[in-house]
Structure 1
Amino acid sequence: MLSSMETPMGLTVIGPSGRPLRVPRNSPAFQSSKDLLGQAMPAEQVWVKLQDLAANPLQAFSSWCNKFGVKFTDEGENFRLQDISLGKASWMPLLQRGMAAGASLAPFLRLAERLGGAAATAKVEQVCLHWQEIAIDTFRLGLVTSQMLPAEARIGDKVVGKPSGPQFGLVSYDGFTFVDGSIRLDEGVVIGTFGADSALVEEVLAEPVILGFNQTYRCEEGTADGWLEDLSFDSLKAARLNAEEIRKSGSSVRIINRVSGDVVAL
């Protein structure tokens, strides 16, 4: 038998002999280790796989990239996705957020391609990406930012530069450039208005990539007829709160990340 405990610092797993194995939250192996604990396999086999991940944490990241047909190459302080060189200090935290949220690698690869030669040094740790399907299998990439919007602002309004106004909102900038070490926001569209509620804005900005318009995380309730769709959210925190309410009613529940189609850990 294995026992485990998750804390803000990471994950601690107690092995068959009572020896603890600690996986820091910022390790590339963190999410893969959590996923392993949820798999139906013998405890001894899970323990061996956990030890392998702890010994080579980039193995988990490489496996995630391979899942999307992208070659990962470790180069010390940098790494490559396909032939694009990226700095670990900035890009690894962003991609780890993507792994934890069950996202696809495609939006992050598109961002690296958009930034070109500046991608290696771009500060992208905390960005939130907007991955909007504009036609079948055709997506537009935007950077999501919090902006103060005019009172009359509505979802879908075009924005040039940085607006001003009395209410909190989210703007997806598909027009952006990298200048002198920082990203300049040129043109975008309003994807959310929140009045005076800044907390909801921050919840969405904590996500690595969203579809926008409350489509990203779909809660599903388990029934005798299969999984039935419940509510959807752009905030994983809000989706998990909704999932907990479903669970309290006695039903099974799961959350699907619509970006990748993967189930997200509760």
Structure 2
Amino acid sequence: MVTPTIGIQMSMLRNEAEIDFLGTLKKIKDIGYEAVEFDGFYRLKAKKVKAALEDYGLIGISAHTPLNYENQKKIVSDLKKQADYVAEVGIPYMISPWFPLPKKPIMADVDQYVDIVRQCSDAVREAGLQFGFCHLDGELKSLGKGKRILEEVLKRTSPEEMVIEFDLGWLKYADVDMEELLGRYAGRAPIVHFRDYKVGHIDTEVGEGVVGYDKLLPLVAELDIPYIIVKQTQFDRTPIESAKKSFAFFQRAGYARG
């Protein structure tokens, strides 16, 4: 069993990062987080971001990188440019945060999904990186006969082509058997999102909602999933205060220093 490294997604602190990106990284480290998942780099040069991570002792574990679905002919070329930047920073994973799906998806949508995964994976691996997907709720929709879109994509692609970043909040919302799913794919899930929510599906700090992280945290550790990333999009307090409150959950549970 490994003790997961606790990180945070920078989108949670977007307002702060737009004003002072590098200063926000330092605030993250000062709270106690050890890893960062990026969602943009605010026009900074890659070597400057890399130097800041080294100075603050932070791990840049992944970069959430939306694909250009508006112009699918440019998906791969656009991704290659971003992959070169991410590689220069020293981030190992490029994660696409969603896939556009119709309200009633069919197997042809899965075919398209798999084709895009393979194209993107080839482009990212050329830069020495690993490609992955992070789902929302759409990818958890049923295709009928007990089949879910995400699981069909995972069946039809290899771990080398695509890792999966499970969002445990969305899994809870979709009423997925998380213990079974995580157990089946833990070796393919190097990073998981801890997103908690209150009744009404309103985001809240980790441990304050209905997802059940008191039980899920030990499970993630037992499955040797190495990175946990805190994510939150709605706030009753400042995002920094929410980041501190979520980190305190891991401290109380004995999974974080500080």
Q: State the TM-score, normalizing by the size of structure 1.
A: 0.28
More strand per residue = 1
Higher RCO, Cα 8 Å, sep 6+:
2
TM-score (norm 2): 0.28
